Amino acid sequence: MQDPNENWNLKEIGGWKGFIKQLYRHHKPSGGVLILRIALGVLFITEGWTKLSGIAGTEHFFAMLGLSSGWVYLVAYTELIGGILILVGLLIKPVCVALAIDMAVVVWGVPAKGGLYWGHPYEFFLLCVFLALYIMGPGKYSVAHWWLKRKKS
């Protein structure tokens, strides 16, 4: 049996404009942002923790790039704390800027064999994701949204 709300007859739903409205009537951008935040948060918590737990190897890798050990801690804690903040949806804009800079340094600063996206397609993709999340904001399923809603009442 067909759901009466699922009418796909173009004449009955008002042509192509009605078709587009029908297609996007269940559009939930905050749910999509939540999924994105969870994935990024878990990913960067793991990345930061991995750098900190294997600090000697990370320091050696950074030294090969000509960076001091101070950068190791800055990058590791930025990724770890940034991942936590993204996961809960707090301070999204400054965290996205910091992690986008982190990814930009990898894309354009770390030597690679070349290829698409300067040899770092994964980091280039994450850079774009952070810029998109910066524009979208944390969404309504976030600590920031809850906090602002609480302060208004």
Question: Rounded CA gap, 99 and 126, in Å?
Answer: 9
Q: Higher pLDDT residue, 109 or 81?
A: 81
Task: Please state, in angstroms and rounded to a whole number, the distance separating the CA atoms of residues 71 and 17.
Answer: 53
Least confident piece of the model among 3-17, 45-59, 78-92, 127-141: 3-17
For the cut 50, the answer to whether the pLDDT of residue 1 exceeds it is no
Mean pLDDT of the 73-90 span:
96
Question: CA angle 41-46-47, nearest 5°?
Answer: 100
Q: Which two tokens stand for residue 41?
A: 């948060």
Q: Which residue has the higher pLDDT, 19 or 64?
A: 64
pLDDT, average across residues 123-136: 95
The first and second tokens of residue 134, run together, are 């910066």
